[in-house]
């Protein structure tokens, strides 16, 4: 329930100030947390034994300093490259039952609508969807990345520090997407609650995050690529993510895990872990067993919801 968040005087999913409560209590269910890992003698990961949520402590005082600046020379933003990556993603996420599992970032609607991509990065997803006829809008927190996304996609990209708060009227979008963004947000509950209000009735909220309950996280331990301290503030299990979505008021939510090749190939220091053939096989097996490296959530707003 929402009261759990507001009863904790801590800089957690809903905000606050006390470091003691952040370390000791889960921001989702208020269960006493347990220490899991320490990175570089500075960053700590705590785990809730009840819902499985993990969180980073302490928080970086200047988060922006830990993110790279966009490198226009190193990235290939040509249309051919963008469509090659789109095709690769489509093939990667298609199983033997062709058509049952298509590209997970393709909105499950028949006609293009207005789409908001939160944390749009370099703008390639915006450009791909715009090329398919969608009316797209992006949001970023850094001006340099927003400028690059605007240049790459040709779409409007806005800079904001607090996601969803008063940016657009209620019911402005048919689809809202967050691709590997939720784990970076200081207050994911507030962001999801606001974004859900900006969805039109019948609209979809689509998101993807690393899966802290995955085989790759279990096998790699503290070497797991997706711990990524201090950029990743939260680490979700299926149970924890579902609970967060419910607290944000999201309805008709369907969760599944998906294959994640980088998490098998690289550790968090960027060192090679497994070769591509074995990594590919493990990624496929893990996803089939419900323990894939990423969590995907599709939530649909009721047609009668305001």
**Mean pLDDT computed over every residue of the chain:** 83
* pLDDT of 95 over the 80 cut: no
Residue-wise pLDDT for 100-159, tens only, equals: 344 567 787 767 889 999 999 999 999 988 988 899 999 999 999 999 999 999 999 999
Q: Which of 20-24, 96-100, 195-199 has the lowest mean pLDDT?
A: 96-100
Continuous H helices in 11-75:
19-24
Residue 94 clears pLDDT 60, i.e. is over it: no
Q: How many residues does the chain have?
A: 306
- Of the CA atoms within 13 Å of residue 130, those in its CB half-sphere come to 20
Q: Which residues neighbour 277 within 8 Å (Cβ) at sequence distance 6 or greater?
A: none
**What structural domains and CATH numbers belong to the chain?**
72-300 (3.40.50.150)
DSSP 133: T
pTM listed for this prediction: 0.84
pLDDT recorded at residue 149 = 94
Phi-psi region of 84 (alpha: psi -120 to 50; beta: other; left: phi over 0): alpha
Q: DSSP of 208-248, one letter per residue?
A: EEEBTTSHHHHHHGGGBGGG-TTT--EEB-HHHHHHHHHHT
Q: Is 305 a residue whose pLDDT tops 50?
A: yes
How much is the average pLDDT of 287-301? Answer: 95
Q: Which residues of 137-165 are buried (b: 16+ CB within 10 A; e: fewer)?
A: bbbbbeeebbbbbbebbebebeeeeebbe
Q: What is the pLDDT of residues 233-250, one digit of tens each?
A: 999 999 999 999 999 999
Higher pLDDT residue, 204 or 11?
Answer: 204
By the 8 A CB rule, do 119 and 90 touch? no
């Amino acid at each position: 329930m929402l009261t759990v968040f507001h009863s904790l005087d801590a800089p957690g999913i809903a905000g606050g100030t006390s470091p003691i409560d952040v370390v000791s209590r889960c921001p989702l269910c208020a269960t006493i947390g347990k220490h899991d890992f320490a990175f570089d003698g500075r960053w700590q990961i705590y785990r809730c034994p009840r819902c499985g949520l993990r969180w980073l402590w302490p928080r970086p005082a200047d988060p922006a300093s830990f993110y790279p600046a966009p490198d226009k020379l190193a990235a290939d933003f040509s249309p051919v490259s963008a469509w090659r990556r789109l095709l690769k993603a489509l093939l990667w996420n298609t199983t033997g039952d062709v058509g049952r599992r298509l590209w997970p970032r393709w909105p499950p609607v028949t006609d293009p609508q207005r789409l908001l991509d939160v944390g749009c990065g370099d703008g390639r997803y915006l450009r791909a969807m715009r090329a398919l006829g969608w009316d797209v809008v992006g949001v970023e927190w850094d001006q340099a990345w927003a400028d690059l996304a605007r240049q790459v996609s040709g779409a409007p990209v806005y800079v904001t520090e607090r996601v969803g708060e008063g940016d657009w009227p209620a019911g402005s979008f048919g689809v809202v997407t967050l691709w590997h963004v939720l784990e970076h947000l200081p207050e994911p509950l507030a962001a999801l609650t606001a974004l859900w209000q900006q969805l039109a009735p019948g609209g979809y909220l689509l998101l993807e995050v690393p899966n802290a309950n995955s085989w790759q996280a279990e096998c790699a331990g503290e070497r797991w690529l997706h711990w990524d301290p201090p950029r990743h503030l939260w680490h979700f299990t299926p149970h924890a993510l579902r609970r967060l979505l419910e607290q944000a008021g999201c309805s008709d939510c369907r969760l599944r895990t998906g294959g994640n090749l980088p998490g098998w190939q690289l550790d968090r220091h960027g060192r090679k872990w497994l070769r591509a053939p074995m990594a590919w096989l493990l990624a496929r097996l893990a996803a089939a067993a419900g323990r894939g490296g990423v969590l995907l959530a599709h939530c649909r707003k009721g047609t009668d919801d305001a």
